[in-house]
Amino acid sequence: MAKDFIGYQALTDSALRGVVRDALRRIEKSGLIGAHHFYLTFKTHCRRCDIPDFLKEQYPDEMTIIIQHQYWALKVKDDYFEVTLTFKKLPAPLHIPFNALTAFSTPGVQFGLQFRAEAMARPRPPLDRSWCPPIRRNPARAKPPTRWRPSRRPPARTRGSGEPGFLP
């Protein structure tokens, strides 16, 4: 199989996370309607994920939250969303980047999405530059930049009408 240089899986995950973003933006503006409620599963150890320490201790790898009846201060941005939920009768603000999501579902309308977790957790491999020759610079051979000088051509000869280049 040929190597995927375009990264179709990453493009697909990004587009599907856009579906989640747009769904959350709709309930941010108008609230949940009908049988809709959201199950969102995310990696708690994502570097930009900000949740209270007691939740990180209880869920060191992955956590699922439900946005249904009791949620407050939902704010949706391009890269993350924030919501306040209650745990053990205490309000807990959550800051969750979209790239930390591993699953999204809406059981009321039987819709769900799964995302690849390793795209978020694994660091990007270094670029393969073996095809590129090394750049060799020799400071002794470097030329100073030249300054533009006007050309020193002799003026055109004129005869007769005084126009340059006119020869009877």
Domain annotation for the chain: domains and CATH numbers: 8-121 (2.30.30.220)
Calpha distance 149→165 (Å, rounded): 24
Give pLDDT tens digits for 122-154: 444 554 555 555 555 555 555 555 555 555 666
Give pLDDT tens digits for 65-116: 999 888 889 999 999 999 999 888 889 999 999 989 999 998 888 889 888 7
User: What was the pLDDT predicted at 151?
Assistant: 57
67 CB neighbour count, 10 Å cutoff: 19
* Number of alpha carbons in the 13 Å side-chain half-sphere of residue 44: 16
How large a percentage of the chain has pLDDT more than 90?
24
**Is pLDDT at 160 greater than 60 in this prediction?**
no
Q: Which residue has the higher pLDDT, 27 or 133?
A: 27
The SS3 call for residue 116 is coil
Confidence of residue 48 (pLDDT cuts 50, 70, 90): confident
User: What was the pLDDT predicted at 135?
Assistant: 53
The SS3 call for residue 53 is helix
Q: What is the mean pLDDT of the chain?
A: 78
Q: Which pairing describes strands 80-87 and 101-106: parallel, antiparallel, or unpaired?
A: unpaired
User: What was the pLDDT predicted at 93?
Assistant: 92
